[in-house]
Structure 1
Amino acid sequence: MSSTTPLTDPGARAAVAVVDVTKTYGDRKAVDGVSLTIRRGEFFGLLGPNGAGKSTLVEIMEGLRKADSGSVTVFGESPWPRNTALLPRMGVQTQSSAFFVRQTVHEHLRTVAALFGADRAAVDATLGAVGLDGQHDVRVDDLSGGQRQRLAIASALVHGPELIFLDEPTASLDPEGRRDLWEVLRGLKAEGRTIVYTTHHLDEAEALCDRVGILVAGRLVVTDEPQHLIRTFGASSRLLVPLGRIDEERARSLPGVDGVLVQGGHLVLETRATGRVLAALDTVTGLDGVQTRTPSLEDVYLDLTARRTPLAPNNQEQQA
C-alpha cells in the first residue's frame, strides 16, 4: 500500500478536504475521526455497509450537516454554515431528492435550472443525457421510480457543477439504465468534473472510480485505487472444476491450492498461483470445462468489512 501520510495542505489542491471529522448521534459515532482528501477531477467512490456512515459523511461535505469536530473544506471554503457561494459549484443528488411533483419533467428541470441561472438549452441537453428526453410533458408524480431517479440526477447536473455528489444514483435503475448512466458519468469525468459517489454496486465502483474509500462503523478503513486494492490484499482466484472430475482430497493436494469447497455443481479451488494450479490440473484431469474467476473489488470489500477493524494508523488517508 502507498504512503499513509496525508497531504501537507490538503485544501490547496483538493476539491474536498476532510480532517478528523466526527459526528455522533446519541451514543453512536456515525462518523469517527475520518480524514480524507478528494482531488479535483477525481471520480471517488465511498463504499460501506448500510449504517456505516456514508450518507452522514457526504452530507457534512455538502454542508447539509454540521460535524461535531474536525474540519471540512470544499474548494478551500467551509460548506458550513450553509455557504451560498459554493452552491452553484456543487450538484447534489440524495436518496430522498425533493421534486415539484405537480410540474412536468421539463417544467421541474427548468425551475431547478433557473435557480442557478442555467438556460433552456442546458435543460434539454441534460434530459437527453439521462434518458428522459421522451418524458418532457409527463408530470413528475406520474413517473416511475427509475424515472424519478433519472430526474434527480438531472437536477444535480443541469447547472454544470464542478463538484457532483451522487448518493446511490443507480439504485432504482434497470441494467440498461445503469450502463447509460455510466457513460454520462464517464463524460463528466472527461470534462474534468469531480464526482463523489456512494454505491452498493461493487462492479460499478470498480469500473468507474479512480479511487474508493471503504467506511466500516464510521471509520475509514482504507482508501486506494480499486485495482491496487485488489493486488495489495491478494484476494484468491477461483478455479471452477465440474464435479466428478477430481475428488476433494486430490484437489487439496495440488501444488498452489489454498482451499477447496463444493459450490453450484463445481469443485471450487482457491489459489493465488493460478498458472501453477492450472498446469497441475491439466496433468491430472485436463482443463475441459474448467472456469477461472479472478479476484474483484467485491472480494476485497467483503474481506475488509468482515474484519471491521481499521487498517491504517490513526485512521489517516492512504494516498494512492
Structure 2
Amino acid sequence: MNAIDATNVSKHYGSTTALDRVDLTVEEGETFGFLGPNGAGKSTFINILLDFAKPSDGQVEIFGTDCQRDGVDARERVGVLPEGYSVIERLTGRQHIEYAIRSKDAHDTNPLDILDRVGIRDAAGRKASGYSKGMAQRLVLGMALVGEPDLLLLDEPSTGLDPNGAAEMRRILREENERGATIFFSSHILEQVEAVCDRVGILQNGELVAVDTIEGLRESMGGGTKLVLTLDELRDSTLAEIETIDGVETVASVGDSTIEVTCTNDAKMDIVVALHQAGIEVMNFKTEEASLEDMFIEYTGSRGR
C-alpha cells in the first residue's frame, strides 16, 4: 500500500493557482523530500493532506484513506510538524508532550524520553515562553514523534535549528525510517534533503516538475558528471576532438591547461583514452557529481535559499 496517493490535485485561491494538477505517489517506508522555492505550493499540499485545506480538484489518500472524506481516520496514523507552529507559552515542554500523548492515546509513552530524544530534556519544566526558536522547533518535532506514527509529515523541519540541531534532526528521521515510518518533508534547504531522501519531488509554481531519485535526476540532466582535467598541453584542436565523443555534453577550457567536460559516466574513460591516443598526457583529473542544488536550479531557475 502507498503511504500517499495524490491524483490530479489542484488548488485555486481566486485567480491564483497554488497547485496545478499534481500527481504524486509516495511509497510506504520511503523518505521523500518535497522541494520548491518559497511560495511554490509545498505547504498547501501538506495542508490538503491534513484536511486543513480542500482541493479545488483531485483526490488525496493516506494509506488508502481519503483525506477529505475521512480526514480524522487518515490523520490517526500521522505525526505532524507544521510550518510556523506556535507553542503554547504558558505550558512547559513536558506539558506539550503530555498533551500530544493524550491526543494520540499513547499513554505508554514517557514524555521525558521524547524530550531527551529531541535534545531538550533539561528544559522539560520550563515554560515554552522561554524557549528559543530552535528549542520550540525541537519540541514540536517531539510532539510529532509521539505514538510512533506510520507517516511523519514535516513542513520545513529544520527551521530555527543550528547546524548541530539540523544534524540531530536528520539522525532522528533516519531512526524513524529504520523502524518503518514513512517520512515526507518539505524543504527549501537542499542539503537536508540530499542527506536523507530516497526520492525527491520538485514543485515550481504549483506544478510538480520532477519526481525521481537524486541519481535519476542527474541522469535526466545528461549524466550530471563534470570531469575536470589538467593536461600537459592544451592544443587548439583538443576541445573540438573531445566534443565528438559519445556522451559528451559540453567542453570548456578554464585555464592554460585545464578543461571541464560535462558528460555521462560512461564517457569519462573514453575521454581519457582519446587524449592519450592524441599524445596528450593527463596530469590530474577529478570528477564532480551534480549536486541537488545544481539540479534544483536546472528545474526551477532559482537557488531555493
TM over 0.5: yes
Distance 1:178 1:45 in 2: 15
Equivalent residue for 2:252?
260
Equivalent residue for 1:301?
296
RMSD: 2.9
1:33, CA displacement in angstroms?
1.0
Distance 2:143 2:23 in 1: 29
Distance 1:216 1:168 in 2: 16
**How many pairs were matched up?**
291
Distance 1:163 1:245, change over 3 A: same
Q: Retained in 2: the 8 A contact 1:20–1:70?
A: yes
Q: Retained in 1: the 8 A contact 2:4–2:27?
A: yes
Distance 1:235 1:135, change over 3 A: farther
1:246, CA displacement in angstroms?
6.2
**Relative contact order (C-alpha < 8 Å, sep 6+): which is higher?**
1
1:235, CA displacement in angstroms?
4.2
Distance 2:171 2:287 in 1: 28
Equivalent residue for 2:84?
96
Residue 17 in structure 1 maps to residue 5 in structure 2: yes
2:41 pairs with one of 50, 53, 77: 53
Range with bigger deviation, 170-179 or 56-65:
170-179
**Which runs of structure 2 are paired with 1:306-317 in the superposition (5 Å)?**
306=301
Deviations 1:34-73 (A, max 9, x none): 1222222222221122221111011101111011111122
- Aligned-partner residue type, residue 192 of structure 2: E
Range with bigger deviation, 151-160 or 121-130:
121-130
**Which runs of structure 2 are paired with 1:58-207 in the superposition (5 Å)?**
58-80=46-68, 83-119=71-107, 121-207=109-195
Distance 1:253 1:47, change over 3 A: same
1:188, CA displacement in angstroms?
0.9
- Structure 1's unaligned 5+ residue stretches are 1-12, 308-320
State the percentage of identical aligned residues. 32
Q: Secondary structure at the match of 1:16?
A: strand
1:96, CA displacement in angstroms?
0.9
TM-score w.r.t. the length of structure 2 is 0.83
Distance 1:171 1:98, change over 3 A: closer
Distance 1:103 1:249, change over 3 A: farther
Distance 1:151 1:281 in 2: 58
Equivalent residue for 1:287?
283
- Aligned-partner residue type, residue 252 of structure 1: L
1:214 pairs with one of 202, 225, 233: 202
Q: Secondary structure at the match of 1:100?
A: coil
Distance 1:140 1:245 in 2: 64
- Aligned-partner residue type, residue 239 of structure 2: R
- Structure 2's unaligned 5+ residue stretches are none
Residue 35 in structure 1 maps to residue 29 in structure 2: no
Distance 1:125 1:254 in 2: 63
Q: Retained in 2: the 8 A contact 1:91–1:164?
A: yes
- Aligned-partner residue type, residue 294 of structure 1: E
TM-score w.r.t. the length of structure 1 is 0.79
